[in-house]
Amino acid sequence: MRMRPPSIDGLAASTLQLPPGPWLTVLECLCDHFPAVTPAQWRDRMERGRILADDGQPLTSESPYRTGLPVHYYREVADERPIPFQEALLHIDDDLLVADKPHFLPVTPAGIHVHETLLGRLIRHTGNAALAPLHRIDRDTAGLVLFSTNPRSRARYQALFRERHIDKRYEAIAPPLPELAFPCVRSSRLVTGHPFFRMQEIEGQPNTETRIDVISRGPRYWRYALAPVSGRKHQLRVHMAALGAPIVNDALYPSLRQRAAEDYSAPMQLLAKELSFVDPLSGVERRFVSRFALLA
């Protein structure tokens, strides 16, 4: 019987359908297909039940190879470094959890970050493997993230974001824009850029909109209030850079800057500061505010 492998600390299993080849065992095939992982590491994962067949049963080093066999495995990163910043739990009930995420901590597993994620930490803290983020913010952005704690009510909260019934307010530190009249609106069409992890503006029907105002003016930088009407990847970062005021310490916009993986000295000055909405279950107005503050 086919079953979906459970997630571990928010990490979903990856799946490989074994290709045609001369192998006698699943282990031999995995070793050839993923040469960066040693045979000893594959055996260790098998012994810990991290390599599964379609019926959910663990595969062993002796499990026979078969062309097309679905093999489910969990990504692991050797010597994954802890991220030295702590999230805060602002609210939890039977349906909703609100977390305050620090800079540099990803919301979900990606790249070299497998277990050091906000989702993984919260699952370990609460013991609730059913936790699921209702939205995401960038690893480089700090601030509020909402999680569903209950699969039965999850769709009701997801609809808040899909139908734009939630007000999101960010704060950013960026250079002055004295030539603009505030508040203002930036609308543009965003598409995947080059490299693939960057976004870019192109001509065409706008698919993004950001409302921008000024909170305070300093001699070197201004503090901005940003309200995304849409929710495209890197929208706020691209819009501010396009206006001529890239967010302080943004490593991607307006141009790509190299940064060491463990360089925590210059967090990007963007904060998901406030979320407000009418609770779809109780009808009560709810408002959450991040406790983090930008440095500049």
What pLDDT score does 17 carry?
Answer: 93
What pLDDT score does 279 carry?
Answer: 98
What pLDDT score does 96 carry?
Answer: 98
Q: Which residues contact 242 (CB under 8 A, 6 or more apart)?
A: 186, 188, 201, 254
Cis preceding-peptide flag for 195 (omega within 30 of 0): yes
**Dihedral-angle region of residue 104 (phi above 0 means left; psi in -120 to 50 means alpha; beta otherwise):** left
- What distance in Å separates the CA atoms of residue 131 and residue 92, rounded to the nearest whole number? 11
CB 83 within 8 A of CB 116: yes
10-residue block means of pLDDT along the chain (296 residues)? 72 89 96 92 94 93 95 85 96 98 93 87 93 95 98 97 96 98 97 92 96 97 97 96 97 88 90 98 98 88
Domain 14-73: which CATH class?
alpha beta
CATH of domain 88-254+263-289: 3.30.2350.10
Q: Would you state the structure tokens that stand for residue 174, as one six-digit string?
A: 């960026």
Q: Where in the chain is the domain with CATH 3.30.2350.10?
A: 88-254+263-289
Q: Would you state the structure tokens that stand for residue 251, as one six-digit string?
A: 């490593």
Q: Where in the chain is the domain with CATH 3.10.290.10?
A: 14-73
Burial code (b: 16+ CB inside 10 Å, e: under 16) for 150-185 equals beeebeebbebeeeeebebbbbbbbeebeeeeeeee
pTM here is 0.85
Residue that the structure tokens 């309200």 belong to: 227
3-state secondary structure of 86: coil
What pLDDT score does 262 carry?
Answer: 78
